[in-house]
Amino acid sequence: MTDKMNIKQVLFNRRMLICIFTGFSSGLPLYILISLVPAWLRTEGVDLKAIGLFALIQLPFTWKFLWSPLFDRYIPPLGRRRGWLLISQIALLLIIPAYGYLNPKLDLWAIAYLSLIVAFFSASQDIVLDAYRRELLLEAELGLGNAIHVNAYKIASLVPGALSLVLADHLPWASVYLITALFMLPGIVMTLCVSEPILKGAPKTLKAAVIEPFEEFRSRGLKPALLILAFIFFYKLGDSMATALATPFYLDMGFTKTEIGLIAKNAGLWPSVIGGLLGGIWMIRLGINRALWIFGVVQMVAILGFAWLAMLGHNPVWLAVVIGVEALGVGLGTSAFVAFIARTTHPLYTATQFALFTSLAAVPRTFANAATGYMVESLGWKTFFLICFGLAIPGMLLLFKVAPWNEKE
């Protein structure tokens, strides 16, 4: 598959540049919701319980597959992908500045409703961006293209999570939200400049748009379909649970908030970005199947680092090492996992199937992570992390069926 393609040709082409813009545009509104809004509410004196409940505004990201058939069925004036992209991006550009005109103490419910609207349009943008990438990239480019998208997504967190917070010390919140919203403009420019993917066929009715993607997936055979769904469920479960209570774990090990802030931010973000990019490049040679095996092992072994730290206790050097290795493993594993999901979708139903698979990957993590606190209280940190390691094994075993090492891709 990859022998015919030069790595340089895959790395330096227009499609990879587009993936940078799709990732940045996708990540910005999510990190506004999970980084900037909570910080704003806290600085304005809103209690932590109310801020914690704001996690529920992310529900549209879990249930986005419910309205994804609309994006496969209906075609706006600018095209099936570009048209829906422009609608969702302009909506976000116009809605995000509205935060600055609300008072957290007086308008908390209005802020919650506004956040749900932002989450809806952000999830809608994700549906279309995922479908667009699947239709844009060649098969040999799925690994690297999706890795670039994921890493641009992470880098977008630096705007709401860093730049906007710095600006908030010098400007009123209305100006902060306006400036933050303007970072949607690169994505809008991209949407206007790129060409619409060639339409290979679209569902003729809304009913067909809802039913046909599921019928196509089931037609692959009940057993293969169930194995794919089980793999999507389990592959990232162990590392997701291991990091669900990362900050409380660091605090229990005696690390100060300053140590956690400085070490976790620097040792966590950039190894994850580097891991994702390296994973994408290696996948050009390895192929997606072998990448899932190799990166999955790194992802699993990284979990054991937390168990090791639980035995060591307070050690800033090892904290940096553990966080860095875990972030590298997650970056590698995520790049291969997203590429696998992209490859699994049928070209005629990319929006609906991609939304369904990514939602499925999020749902088990949400419910499993909810139980992590009870597990730690009962078992202790070391045993908890060893169980997380064990929970990563089923996903690896399923690779024998869904992505065999020597299978021709």
What 3-state class would DSSP assign to 237? helix
Structural domains in the chain plus CATH codes:
1-202 (1.20.1250.20), 205-408 (1.20.1250.20)
- Given this model, what pLDDT does residue 1 score? 45
Cα radius of gyration (the chain): 21
Residue 177 structure tokens: 């939200």
Can you tell me the mean pLDDT for 97-108?
92
CA torsion through residues 20, 200, 211, 143, sign: negative
Region for 313 from its dihedrals, namely left if φ exceeds 0, alpha if ψ lies in -120 to 50, beta otherwise: left
- Given this model, what pLDDT does residue 172 score? 93
- pLDDT one-digit tens code per residue, 47-86: 766 776 666 777 888 888 889 999 988 889 888 899 999 9
Q: Determine the Cα angle at 357 with ends 305 and 72, to 5°.
A: 150
Whole-structure pTM value = 0.77
- pLDDT one-digit tens code per residue, 345-400: 887 788 888 888 888 887 666 666 667 777 888 888 899 999 999 999 999 999 99
Neighbour-count burial of 62, counting CB atoms closer than 10 A to its CB (0-12 exposed, 13-18 middle, 19+ buried): middle
Is residue 137 a contact partner of residue 145, using CB atoms and an 8 Å limit? yes
